[in-house]
């Protein structure tokens, strides 16, 4: 269980000894335990990104995490660099950092002589460990004190080795108590440098999004104006179409040889004793007469009856001691009677059709404008959504692994 040469070298200060990712697997209590020694941050920006990518890749291959061990030397303070490293890993391991995490304090001699020396020096180990727990509680922003274990990193005597082995067994047993936390969609957590770079772009993106959003609002207003014009033009076109149909129906009625009355004469009288009655009549029309209708009682006679294109005249005589009942009606064709109206209607129809065609041209132009604005609105909305998506990615603490690798390659290219 214990090897004389440590698997992972111990740091002698808060500057991490581990520069690159290291892993080791061993059997314990019928379990295979894989331990990953993660490097600290602030080696260099490129080194940090490369190491964190490696961590994500290894963890994704392992599918789950059993426990996270935070190791700190008893003699070291929790300085800014150490806090930044812990905070970074708490972001990376967000799914299990607050449940399956405990602290290992190293370089703690637990043999009898060391305990006596601490007592003589007035050094309270329990208080020191409690202070470490409190500090890490604040760094991790959790509501409870994390579990803590103290071990001797480099035991020399048999007593020290035995105590160290028991402490290590206690840690391993604690790890086995935890329920594994699935990795899920583990993503690369951005380093501080990457966040700073992204925030500069976030500021620029906010300006771009506002500019395109203003353009979108302006385009939407222009489209609304065009849409209102289209509605108005369609209403005018509809009214014109109604009027055109009415005129066409009227022309269909007028422009025909159907007879229409243009004049009439009639007489209805009683009889006169021992007399015959004589009546003259004359009908004149402004329109060419196309048909004459005349009717009388049997006892009456037409003495005269003359007709030309525009006049009908004559004389009607009643029988002796008889009354009179007679009528004359003249007719013309509707297309003759309404010739002037037909000309005016055709002119009106011609003008209306011209207006209709003109409106159709305008409507087509406005519809094309509306379509252009609609396409512009769609393009702007899609582009704004894309910018917002980029903004969310830049504002996020995480990146997909492939994007982290792309950025690393990009930085390596810049460096060359």
Per the structure block, which two tokens stand in for 62? 């392992």
Mean pLDDT over 244-273 rounds to: 90
Q: How confident is the model at residue 415 (pLDDT cuts 50, 70, 90)?
A: low
> Residues 83-121: pLDDT tens digits?
888 888 888 887 777 778 889 999 898 888 888 898 899
* Dist. CA 327–CA 268, nearest whole Å: 9
- How many angstroms separate the CA atoms of 300 and 316, rounded? 7
Q: What is the model's pLDDT at position 2?
A: 36
Structural class in CATH, domain 22-189+409-415: alpha beta
Cα–Cα distance between 88 and 158 in angstroms, integer?
Answer: 39
- Both tokens of 219, joined, read 């385009």
Alpha carbon distance, N-terminus to C-terminus of the chain: 46
Report angle CA 48, 54, 59 to the nearest 5 degrees: 125
Among 40-44, 48-52, 327-331, which stretch is predicted with the lowest mean pLDDT?
A: 40-44
Tokens of 201: 């772009």
The mean pLDDT of 38-49, rounded to a whole number, is 79
Among 263, 262, 292, 281, smallest CA distance to 324 is for 281
Question: Residue 5 has what pLDDT?
Answer: 40
* pLDDT of amino acid 11: 46
Partners of 120 in the β-ladder: none
| Whether pLDDT at 14 is above 60 | no
Helix (H, G, I), strand (E, B) or coil at 375: helix
- pLDDT class of 43 with cuts at 50, 70, 90: low
Q: What is the mean pLDDT of residues 245-254?
A: 96
Give residue 359's pLDDT band: very low, low, confident or very high (50, 70, 90).
Answer: very high
Mean pLDDT of 406-415: 84
Checking 220-226 for CB contacts under 8 A at 24+ apart, the result is: 220/373, 220/377, 222/373, 223/370, 223/373, 223/374, 223/377, 226/366, 226/369, 226/370, 226/373
Contacts of 365 (CB under 8 A, 6+ apart): none
Q: pLDDT value at position 272?
A: 65
Distance of CA 160 to the CA centre of its chain: 66
Sign of CA dihedral 99, 95, 193, 416: positive
pLDDT, mean of residues 402-410: 89
Task: Tell me the mean pLDDT in the region 136-147.
Answer: 88
pLDDT at 355: 95
Using CA atoms, how far apart are residues 72 and 369, in angstroms rounded to an integer? 69
**Does residue 241 surpass a pLDDT of 70?**
yes
- Amino acid 273: pLDDT: 59
> How confident is the prediction for the chain on average, in pLDDT?
87
Give 323-364 as a DSSP string. Answer: -EEEEEEEEEEHHHHTHHHHHHHHHHHHHHHHHHHHHHHHHH
Higher model confidence: residue 21 or residue 257?
Answer: 257
Rounded to an integer, the average pLDDT of 147-159 is: 87
Q: Which pLDDT value is given to residue 350?
A: 96
pLDDT digits (tens, 9 = 90+) for 286-325: 999 999 999 888 778 888 889 999 999 999 887 655 667 8
Q: What per-residue confidence (pLDDT) applies to 416?
A: 60
pLDDT band at 12 (very low <50, low <70, confident <90, very high): very low
Rounded distance between C-alpha atoms, residue 289 and residue 303, angstroms: 22
Q: Does the reported pTM lie above 0.85?
A: no
Average pLDDT (62-74) is 88
pLDDT value of position 116: 87
pLDDT of 10 higher than 50: no
Burial of 156 (0-12, 13-18, 19+ CB in 10 A): exposed
Boundaries of every domain in the chain: 22-189+409-415, 198-255+351-396, 259-337
What is the C-alpha to C-alpha distance for residues 15 and 32, in angstroms, rounded to an integer? 30
| DSSP, residue by residue, 126-185 | HHHHHHHHHHHHHHHT-SSPPEEEE--SS--SHHHHHHHHHHHHHHHHHHHHSPPEE--S
pLDDT computed for residue 319 by the predictor: 66
Tell me the C-alpha distance between 405 and 54, whole Å.
10
pLDDT at position 15, please? 46
């Amino acid at each position: 269980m214990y090897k004389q040469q440590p698997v992972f070298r111990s740091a002698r200060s808060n500057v991490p000894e581990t520069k690159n990712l290291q892993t080791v697997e061993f059997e314990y209590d019928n379990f295979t335990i894989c331990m990953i020694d993660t490097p600290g941050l602030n080696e260099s920006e490129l080194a940090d990104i490369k190491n964190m990518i490696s961590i994500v890749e290894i963890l994704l291959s392992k599918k789950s995490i059993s426990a996270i061990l935070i190791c700190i030397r008893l003699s070291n303070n929790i300085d800014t660099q150490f806090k930044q490293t812990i905070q970074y890993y708490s972001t990376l391991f967000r799914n299990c950092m607050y449940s399956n995490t405990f602290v290992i304090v190293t370089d703690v001699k637990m043999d009898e002589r060391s305990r006596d020396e601490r007592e003589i020096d007035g050094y309270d180990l329990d208080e020191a460990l409690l202070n470490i727990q409190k500090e890490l509680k604040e760094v991790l922003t959790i509501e409870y004190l994390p579990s803590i274990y103290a071990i001797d990193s480099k035991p020399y005597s048999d007593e020290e080795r035995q105590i160290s082995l028991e402490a290590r067994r206690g840690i391993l047993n604690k790890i086995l108590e935890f329920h594994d936390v699935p990795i899920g969609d583990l993503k690369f957590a951005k380093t501080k440098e990457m966040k700073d770079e992204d925030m500069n772009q976030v500021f620029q993106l906010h300006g771009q999004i506002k500019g395109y959003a203003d353009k979108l609002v302006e385009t939407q207003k222009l489209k609304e104006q065009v849409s209102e014009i289209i509605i108005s033009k369609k209403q005018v076109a509809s009214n014109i179409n109604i009027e055109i149909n009415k005129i066409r129906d009227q022309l269909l009625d007028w422009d025909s040889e159907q007879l229409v009355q243009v004049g009439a004469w009639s007489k209805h009288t009683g009889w006169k004793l021992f007399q015959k009655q004589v009546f003259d009549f004359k009908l004149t029309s402004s329109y060419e007469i196309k048909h004459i209708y005349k009717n009388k009682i049997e006892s009456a006679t037409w003495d005269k009856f003359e007709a030309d294109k525009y006049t009908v005249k004559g004389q009607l005589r009643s029988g002796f001691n008889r009354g009179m009942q007679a009528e004359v009606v003249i007719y013309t064709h509707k297309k003759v009677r309404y010739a002037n109206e037909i000309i005016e209607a055709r002119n009106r129809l011609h003008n209306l059709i011209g207006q209709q065609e003109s409106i159709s041209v305008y409507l087509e132009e406005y519809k094309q404008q509306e379509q252009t604005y609609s396409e512009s609105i769609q393009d702007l909305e899609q582009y704004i959504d894309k910018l917002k998506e980029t903004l969310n990615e830049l504002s996020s603490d995480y990146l997909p692994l492939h994007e982290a690798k792309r950025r690393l390659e990009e930085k390596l290219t810049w460096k060359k």
